[in-house]
Amino acid sequence: MFPRHQIYLDNAATTAMDPAFAQEMSRIATEAYGNASSRHDLGLEAEQIMRKARQQVADAVGAEPEEVAFTSGATEALALALLGIAARESKPGHVLISAIEHPAVQESAQLLRDRGHIVEEVPVCMEDARLDLETLTSMVRQETFLLALMHVNNELGAIQPVTRAARIVKRAAPRCVVLCDVVQSLGLLPVDMGQLGADIIAASAHKLHGPKGVGCLVIRGRAPAALYGGGGQERGLRPGTENVPGIAAFGMACLKGKGDPETLRRWTRALGASLEDRLGAKMLCDGPKRAPHIIAVQIPGVRAEVAVNALAREGIYVSSGSACHGRHSLKSTVLAALGLEGADDVIRISLGRFNNEDEVSHASSAMPRLLEEVRRKRKGP
């Protein structure tokens, strides 16, 4: 049985789809259902819909529409980028990734290791979970051909110094490609490829109140090598018939975004402060270098898995970390990078455009009470 009243505070995992997007997807699927590669009227209509969405995505990231290639999501986009960039190399080379990258990057990077490339992780500073730029400077080599650095960390909300990191690697290794995952920042923080210094960015619609199964690569300059064939769509990087309804909704989602940054920051700060004051909890990575919609909170004496389940029974939905490994109980490499390896008392709270003041107020009051009950039960009589 699901609780009657639900307060969804797990927007970093996925967001509720905007009903307007779903309505437009339904219209396109039933009325403008042509294959965008077909040359008859229905095909040309589908192509026009995609052209509009491509422009909307490009506008959102300071790019040109021809630089946008649609994918099935950010995980595929990141894999196509990492593996495709490496496939251009004539011999094994040197790759740098941050120590707090998403599993989509970490696991593709492992494939590069298996193929003979040297892949090293750049540590983050313990106090704010931001990339250690001094160490990056010492690690980059002339033969470094790829740096993968996310814009906003999905577990902690830490905003990474992408622009400065890009300058450092480009100085030492001019041909190095900078790949940036903007999944958590797009639609909330300013995302401009030129200002970031990124050569390739990856994004996903379902973190923007859009549909699942749609993402993109935005590629400036030389494209990654294609990993397979099949039709030549999307610059040859992602061949196959495009998901036109989903792509249209992705474009719309880029216009509406995740919500108002200042409102989301105020709400996450209030939730964190309530847990700090009443439970002695600790907000990780709080401050101006944290994305407005995400807070990670360490709650002494309460296991994260138990906390998540206890809150869910009362209709409050949070998470214990990245949704990509939460079900499998894998240890968080992000927490390990902060010196919290083995920590099992950190929950992630993340808000979105559909949350409201009443929900935040209720959660600020109810969460400390519910978690204190969990703590007392654990201690026993």
Q: Please identify every residue annotated as catalytic.
A: 324
Q: Are 30 and 228 in contact (CB under 8 A)?
A: no
Tell me the C-alpha distance between 70 and 234, whole Å.
Answer: 6
Q: What is the DSSP string of 109-164?
A: HHHHHHTT-EEEEEPB-TTT--B-HHHHHHH--TTEEEEE--SB-TTT-BBP-HHH
Residue from 121, 159, 97 nearest 285 by CA: 159
Q: Are 64 and 58 in contact (CB under 8 A)?
A: yes
Report which DSSP code applies to 206. Answer: G
Dihedral sign (CA 261, 262, 267, 268):
positive
Residue from 88, 34, 27, 102 nearest 241 by CA: 34
Question: Is residue 235 classed exposed, middle or buried when 0-12, 13-18 and 19+ CB atoms within 10 A define those classes?
Answer: middle
Question: Is residue 372 classed exposed, middle or buried when 0-12, 13-18 and 19+ CB atoms within 10 A define those classes?
Answer: middle
Q: Residue 254: helix, strand or coil by DSSP?
A: helix
CA-to-CA dists, residue 96 to 53, 93, 121, 277, 338, angstroms = 32, 10, 6, 40, 18
